[in-house]
Amino acid sequence: MFQDQTVVITGAGRGIGASAALQFADYGASVVVNDLEIGPADETVRTILSRGGQAIAVAGDVTDPAFPEQLLETAAAEFGGLNVLVNNAGYTWDGMAHRIGDEQWQAILDVHLTAPFRMIRAAAPHLRDAAAAELESGGPTVNRCIVNVSSTSGLHGNIGQANYAAGKMGIVGLTKTIAKEWGRLGIRCNAVAFGFIDTRLTRPQEIQEESIEIGGREVALGIPAKVRSMLDKDIHARIPLGRPATIEEAAAGIILLSSPLAAYITGHVLEVTGGMGI
């Protein structure tokens, strides 16, 4: 399905991004695996190689303004071009709106909105220019698309996530704008809004003791007890399928939108939620 195609996925060292990287590779893509640190990115690449696929790891922080160009240049140099860009990297830094500090607000907008924008801008020469040249020569056009990762927090808001919800709604506007601006070149741009996926972002914060180091600051990951106490007692009851998704099920939404099955789908927000919110 993705033979001879290059896929770049940010935040693919673990969780949904890692699963998407494995699935793309299983379907024949050459995958560029980005994550903050080289360790987890290498781990994903090792798994892909052991399954007979093709991948390289590129460590780096997507919020570094210079990084998007670097990442995409590396992808083009290594695998010759770009077909699919997945803006997946992210984390949460939760708190009640009246307590969110400026740094906490900005950091989350940076990773969920500004970084994907810069990635898309940096992808323009690789996607737009390549598509324009193909169209001009009258040759066949290949699959070129972007998948941005949003959230039901962006679509509906969520207690404790004013910063995250703003970023995840912002990316919906960005997605639809790119779909309109780049559509004539045959380049599609869609978003996946995940509901409740079982990763370190949704497990109880104090129990898992997971954190991410950003700009020298340690941010605890997972849902804090105080926020959990304000959410529905039984979150599973709000999900028609009655359970959270696995990372494989979540990543399949990204694969679907990137695939030829979605050749005429653009500007769409696919809710991968087990029916939550309908």
Ligand X SMILES: NC(=O)c1ccc[n+]([C@@H]2O[C@H](COP(=O)([O-])OP(=O)(O)OC[C@H]3O[C@@H](n4cnc5c(N)ncnc54)[C@H](O)[C@@H]3O)[C@@H](O)[C@H]2O)c1
Binding site for ligand X (CB under 6 A): 10-11, 13-17, 34-36, 40, 61-63, 88-91, 111, 149, 151, 194, 196-197, 199-202
State the nearest-atom distance from the C-beta of 10 to ligand X, in Å.
6
State the nearest-atom distance from the C-beta of 91 to ligand X, in Å.
5
- The count of residues in the chain is 278
Q: How far is CA 119 from CA 144, 195, 255, in A?
A: 15, 24, 19
State the nearest-atom distance from the C-beta of 261 to ligand X, in Å.
22
Residue 27 known to be catalytic: no
C-alpha to C-alpha distance for 170 and 174, rounded to whole angstroms: 6
- The token pair that represents 190 in the structure block: 């869609």
For ligand X, which is the closer residue by CB, 54 or 202? 202
**144, burial (CB in 10 Å: exposed 0-12, middle 13-18, buried 19+):** buried
For ligand X, which is the closer residue by CB, 23 or 130? 23
Q: How far is CA 12 from CA 38, 65, 142, 222, 242, in A?
A: 11, 19, 24, 18, 27
By Cβ distance, which residue is nearest to ligand X?
A: 15
State the nearest-atom distance from the C-beta of 142 to ligand X, in Å.
27
141 phi, psi to nearest 5 deg: -100, 145
**27, 91, 164, 264: which is the annotated catalytic residue?**
164
For ligand X, which is the closer residue by CB, 39 or 80? 39
Q: Where do the DSSP E strands lie in the chain?
A: 6-9, 30-35, 54-59, 84-87, 145-151, 188-194, 211-214, 217-220, 269-272
Say if residues 185 and 176 touch (Cβ distance below 8 Å): no
For ligand X, which is the closer residue by CB, 5 or 35? 35
For ligand X, which is the closer residue by CB, 78 or 210? 210
Cite the active site residues: 164
